[in-house]
Each structure stands twice: as structure tokens, then as C-alpha cells.
Structure 1
Amino acid sequence: MTLSDIANDYVDDLGLRPATLDLEFVQRLNRAHLTHYTFNSLSVVLAQEMPLDVTHLHNKIVTRRRGGYCFEHNKLALHVLSELGFDARLLLAKVVYNRDTDVPRTHRISLVTLDGDDYLLDVGFGPLGPRHPVKISTPEVQQQGNEQFRIVNVERGELGLQVYKDGDFFTLYTFNLHHYSEAECTPAHFYSHKSPDAAFVNNLVIAKKSDNQTESLRNGTWQRTDNGTVTEHTIASEEQLNTVMKEVFDLEIDLATAAFLFKKFVRPSLNQ
């Protein structure tokens, strides 16, 4: 497939025709991507190769429905937007989770400019990520379904993406508007899926998000948030893990793989 074919197939797969160069289309893309393709660490925890060429990403995410994490999801989405003619480019962010800490830029996001306004697009952050593009030029709260997001100035030219969580605004990550190259993603991507200290290396993480419902799994805990109501379940067996991965997250994983994941990531969490 050509790069143009990949973009067209992605658009068709998500039912995004007609593809017009406006904010409504980017909003539709954001929602549809999160609904159809899972955020997960499967390739990381199974020690699979994770090349970032667009052909591989399309095959993995769109054709095989295996999902991925930020360097995969957001690169594919950026490629599609660029092929369609949007003014969009790569940004890199620091995941801080509301801490005052200095960490490397290990999260990939996209900047989309429409009618003179800049928007943050992120289809690869997992259960806490935004469902719609977030306008950057305003500090006002932006309602997205039953969630609220805002972007605030942090310091030294850094901006922070915040979500309203547990009664207050919580900073997910910080970023700036510098121009980054694909080459700068290489060390961050390598760290994120190879370092023994990386969160994705040490945790089985899966998430899928629709308009008012979020499904997420982290090791032995499966959580569903439905219109703001949270229901939590404990994964008690490899068979249950296999069923949840198939029926909730649409991931076709054989029982042997589920057993391996249960033994390595779920069972230890049950004993904590």
C-alpha cells in the first residue's frame, strides 16, 4: 500500500467520509480512533518488535486490531491528517501525573492548527486521555462528555494538559510547541519499550474509550467508568483475563498467551 492508500484505508475503516479539513472532522477522528483501536502495552510485555514505520503501524492497528501505545497511535493519526492536507505536526511531552518532577519527554502527541487556532490531538494516552482535540490558546475548561480538560501555563514555556479528577484538576503531562523531528522519537520510544525501569515494560495496560464509557485494565484490576460511575473487578484467573481481553477489548489473544500474562503481571498484583 502507498502512504496515501494507508490514510484512505484508515479513514474508511473508521467511517470518516466525507473527510473535510475542519475541526469537526478532527473531533470525529479522535473519538472514532479511541473507540475502535485499543491503547495497550501488549507488544512491550510480549517483547515483540515495535518498528514505527507507517506501513507496519497500519497493519498492526487497523488491519490486525492489535492496538499499541502513544508512539504508534499518534504517529499513525498524524500521518493520516498530514496526507489529507491538515496543518499538523509532532510534539513530545513529559508525563508527570501531577508531580513536580523532571522526567524525559517519553510521550508523543500532535499539534493541529485550524483557522489560526492550535489544538492538541492525543489518541494514545489511555483511559485519562481526551476524547476530543483540546484547544491550546485558552485556559478555560473544555467539557468533553462527562470529563473536563484544560491547558494551563506551567513554567519556562511549558504547558500542562489537565483533567478534572477526584475533585481537582490533575496535570497529566507537560509539553511545549517546539518543532520536533521523528528522529527525536527514537530514544524515547526505545526507553519506553526496552528499559527495565519503563512503566510499560513492567505493567500490562489496556484501555478503550467511547463517548461516556472507559474500559481499562492494569495488571489484575479491570475498571469500567460509565457516565462517571466506576465499577472495579479483580481478574482472578487466566481464563477470565483471556475472556476480558477478547470480549471487552476485542483483542484476539490465545489462552497460552493469556496464561503467560496472568502469571507475570496479574498474579503478582493479587498478592500485593
Structure 2
Amino acid sequence: MDQQTRQAYLARIGIRQAVEISPEGLAQLHLQHLRTVPFENLSLFLDQPVQLNEAALVDKLVRQRRGGFCYEVNHAFARLLASLGFDVSLLAAQVFDGTVYGPPFDHLLLRVRFDGGDYLADVGFGDSFLLPLPLLPGACSHQPGASYRLASTQGQLSLLQCKQVDDWRPLYRFSPDVHDITDFEPMNRFHQHSPASHFTRRPICSLARPDGRISLSGARLIITLGADRLEQPIGDAVTLRQCLKKHFGIDLSGEQAALLFARGCAAGDAVTSATGSTPSRRR
């Protein structure tokens, strides 16, 4: 990533001053990324292939001011970190769906190394930790809205989240093995095209806010403020377009909004009603 691209990326996430190559600097970048770059899968309903090369990612996240799912936003964030001088690697995780763990390479996350220890970074999971986690099994991190800890089992680490007292639930598990982005391509294709992927069922768009989180799931806008949750229906493409622009900074054309609503929102809600399925925890 060249200097001009790096500066444009930093401006995109609201960073205009020098960043320290330290855990504190990583935390600043991590939080700003989560509050400015949405976790979203809208491309899957807009005939836009998800490409993982740097040029495509920069064009989408920085120039178009869009977001993406884990393979996009975490890989882009990794390229930004590396260009700043951070020691960052790609790790692969299996996401827990409430019953079983998904396949290998179901999720991409990051390890960032410092002399004082390693940290886990993840700006591509939706409702998860806001600040990087020390890669220390058993260590507990109390953050706004939830607590997190890593549990070690048979050579793997499981990320656990607790939103109520002593109610620890797994989000995903991963190994310390380092991977290249090409290792994630088969699952990137799966999540774009397979009916078995939750990403192909309905549009998802989610952004952390200082007071909570705001999310689009199908034809519903979900606003979470602490323990309070408000849902608002989205009844047409015009409202959808206005919602994406106002809350997520995503500026679709009228034609794109109509296509997204027809393919994703109306159809996605019909599938939800028929099957009784609920949105993924990645939201």
C-alpha cells in the first residue's frame, strides 16, 4: 500500500494524526474502523463480485465508502496495518452458529505482534469486541456491552463472549496457524454463492456507534442502545436507500436500492417468515 492510498484509508476511518506502532495505536485504529466501515454483504445482492486484492478493496472501502464481510474488511485492515509498520498475520476461524462450528476458513481474523505480546484484531465480525484482545488464554477483557475471554482447547483458541453474568457463549474458534489470503478464496466463493451460506439469505449491514450499534437485517433496521433494542421496518426501496445513506454512509443509486430491496429485503424476510430462521450472530 503506497503512501497516498494509506493516507486516504486513514482519512476514511477518521485518523488524521500519526499513529504509534503500539497496542494503544492498534486500539485506536481498530475502534475507528469499526465505527466508520460497516460490516456488510450488500454486494451479494447487487451482482458485485467480492474481490480480495488490494486494489479492489481500496476502491470499495475507501473510494466508494462501502464496507464488506470478514475477508474484505479484515484483509484491507491488515494491509493498512502492515503499511504502517505493524507485524500482522491472517488467521482462520470456524464460526459457532449456536449449535455447531462452521468449516475451516469460515472467518478471517488478525494476529498483531508486539514485543510485549500478541493481540487479536477483528473488524469483520459485526457484534464483537471493540478493542483488540490480548492473545492470552484465560485473560478476560471487559468492554462496553460485553466481556470477552479466550479458552484453549486441543491446540485451538475459542473466543467467548459474555453479555449476562456468567453466561459465556462461543463466537468462533481458531488455530495459531498463519495463512495467505488465497487460502480463503474457496470460502469466499462459498459465502457469495451457496444457498447454505447465511450471507446469501438477506442483506446485512452493521456499524458500531459510541452509544451502541445500528444494523440492517433484511427489511429491518435494528438500533441497540445498551440493553434496549428498537426495530423499525423498511417498507420500500426509497426508504432503504435513505437508511443506508443516513446510518451507514452507503450511497446507492436508485436502481441499486431497488435491486437490493427486491432481491434481498423482501425476499429475505419471506424466507425468514417461512423457515423461522434468525439472523446470524455476525451482525
- The whole-number CA distance in structure 1 between the counterparts of 2:260 and 2:41 is 11
SS of residue in 1 equivalent to 2:25: helix
SS of residue in 1 equivalent to 2:47: coil
Moved more, 99-108 or 141-150: 99-108
Asked if the contact 1:16–1:29 (Cα under 8 Å) also holds between the matched residues in 2, the reply is no
Partner of 1:231: 230
- The whole-number CA distance in structure 1 between the counterparts of 2:140 and 2:63 is 36
Shift of 1:166: 5.6
Partner of 1:198: 197
SS of residue in 1 equivalent to 2:142: strand
Partner of 2:93: 93
SS of residue in 2 equivalent to 1:68: coil
- The whole-number CA distance in structure 2 between the counterparts of 1:64 and 1:242 is 15
- The whole-number CA distance in structure 2 between the counterparts of 1:139 and 1:16 is 36
Partner of 1:60: 60
User: 1:189 and 2:153 equivalent?
Assistant: no
Shift of 1:86: 1.2
SS of residue in 2 equivalent to 1:19: coil
Q: Output the amino acid matched with 2:156.
A: E
Q: Output the amino acid matched with 1:250.
A: G
State how 1:41-80 maps to structure 2 within 5 Å: 41-80=41-80
Shift of 1:204: 0.5
Partner of 1:159: 157
Partner of 1:25: 25
Partner of 2:279: none
Moved more, 236-245 or 55-64: 236-245
TM-score (norm 1): 0.91
TM-score (norm 2): 0.88
What RMSD over aligned residues (CA atoms) do the two structures have, in Å?
1.9
State how 1:1-272 maps to structure 2 within 5 Å: 3-13=2-12, 14-101=14-101, 103-126=103-126, 128-153=127-152, 155-165=153-163, 168-271=167-270, 272=273
Asked if the contact 2:202–2:269 (Cα under 8 Å) also holds between the matched residues in 1, the reply is no
Any stretches of 5+ residues in structure 2 without a counterpart?
A: 274-283
Q: Output the amino acid matched with 2:263.
A: K
Asked if the contact 2:75–2:181 (Cα under 8 Å) also holds between the matched residues in 1, the reply is no
Any stretches of 5+ residues in structure 1 without a counterpart?
A: none
- The whole-number CA distance in structure 1 between the counterparts of 2:150 and 2:211 is 21
Q: Output the amino acid matched with 2:237.
A: E
- The whole-number CA distance in structure 1 between the counterparts of 2:164 and 2:239 is 30
Number of residues of Structure 1 aligned to a counterpart in Structure 2 = 269
- The whole-number CA distance in structure 2 between the counterparts of 1:225 and 1:219 is 16
SS of residue in 2 equivalent to 1:151: strand
- The whole-number CA distance in structure 1 between the counterparts of 2:101 and 2:115 is 35
Shift of 1:187: 1.2
- The whole-number CA distance in structure 1 between the counterparts of 2:164 and 2:192 is 30
- The whole-number CA distance in structure 1 between the counterparts of 2:198 and 2:69 is 12
- The whole-number CA distance in structure 2 between the counterparts of 1:114 and 1:138 is 17
- The whole-number CA distance in structure 2 between the counterparts of 1:16 and 1:26 is 15
SS of residue in 2 equivalent to 1:171: strand
- Once the two structures are aligned, what percentage of the paired residues are identical? 26
Shift of 1:16: 4.8
- The whole-number CA distance in structure 2 between the counterparts of 1:132 and 1:211 is 13
